[in-house]
Amino acid sequence: MMPSLLRDVCLVALGGAVGSVARWGVAHVLPTGSFGHWPTFAVNVLGALLLGLLLEALTRPGPETPRAHTVRLLVGTGALGGFTTYSTFAQELWDGVSSGATGPALGYAGLTLVSGLLAAALGMILGARVRGPGGARAAEQALDTTAGDTRTGAPAASATASPTTPGGLPAGADEQPPAGSSSTGPASSGEHR
């Protein structure tokens, strides 16, 4: 096994162990009562919120750094993957339907899914705020002006240094290759694949 792959597996395993123990703890703290599903509901909704926050804060700014990669695997895939439990959610739904409580089971399913989506959206909003002023827009603008052409490694072109055609394309982008030649090289900087 390659060292980087082994490192990644260890990060996910360590995070998963921590997340699973945390889920076990929540199951022993929250009441089960007549509804019985509060622990599962709580870990899945909280996990969706935290995953939305984490991924928005780590991945939206641009290419993944080694530090972000480590945090994503340890906390996102590992800890939050071990913390959330959609298999238990599915089992609880099946138990409800098979016992004849189809209505409450479907209500629980709808409540969990909608709450999870809203929690993930809130997490993304919070993640953008954690990232700092301007959120995703500022990060994308910074990348556009500093990253250059990620396909060819060419540096970013200044808006004043590159003449453009009246249509806004880089000069020469609308020119055809000479007859008999083929254009198999990299796409012009104005094209996106």
**Residues marked as binding for Na(+)?**
81, 84
Cα–Cα nearest to 114, from 44, 40, 53, 50: 44
CB environment 26-46: b (16+ within 10 A), e (fewer)? bbeeeeeeeeebebbbbbbbb
8 Å CB contact between 74 and 11? yes
- The secondary structure of residue 152, as a DSSP letter, is T
List residues forming the annotated binding site. 81, 84
In the block, residue with structure tokens 């982008």: 173
